[in-house]
Amino acid sequence: MKTTFAAALLASAVSLPAWAANISVTDAWARATMPGQSVSGAYMQIQSDADARLLSASSPAVPRVEMHEMKMDGDVMRMREVKAIDLPKGKTVSLEPGGFHIMLMNLKKPIAAGDVIPLTLVVESGGKQQIVEVKAEARAPMGGGMPMQHNQH
């Protein structure tokens, strides 16, 4: 395993000097929770300068983090877990309410507006994985209503 890894590193150093994709994450935010709510969502804009895939998200502050997608199924909005989110080269991928999002689950304490949720993203590009650290600042839910995308939890 060690040998393979070293060989892979060496090979990439020779043939691909800049193997890591440049990932930029902007406008990262998380939704502040309503009383009694133990799930929330985190959203952001991600751009990569090479074809890449977001493989996972985790947080030291959240017991369980999943990547979800919301889609219309007939006239019903459904949410499902996804294994990866494609980050096509040069395209801004939006994680937003109603689309792809990062689900923050089993929250032990509420998320208040202004809290900062650290997120660790694992991104794969060209067969290599890299870590992207993101800080999502919590915002209050708009209009104070129950966020639609969390009704199914």
Span from 25-33, 42-50, 63-71, 106-114 in contact with Cu ion (CB under 5 A): 63-71
Strand partners, 93: 46
* Amino acid symbol at 3: T
Specify the stretch interacting with Cu ion by CB under 5 A; choose among 22-30, 66-74, 116-124, 125-133: 66-74
Q: In the complex, what is the shortest distance from the CB of residue 41 to Cu ion, in angstroms, rounded to a whole number?
A: 6
x/- letters, 93..112, toward Cu ion (CB under 5 A): ----------x---------
Contacts with Cu ion: how many residues (CB under 5 A)? 3
68 touching Cu ion, by CB under 5 A: yes
Contacts of 60 (CB under 8 A, 6+ apart): 118, 120
33-67 burial code (b ≥16 CB/10 A, e <16)? bbeebbbbbbbbebbbebebbbebbebebbeebbb
* Of 26-34, 52-60, 67-75, 126-134: span binding Cu ion (CB under 5 A): 67-75
* Residues found near Cu ion in the complex (CB under 5 A): 68, 79, 103
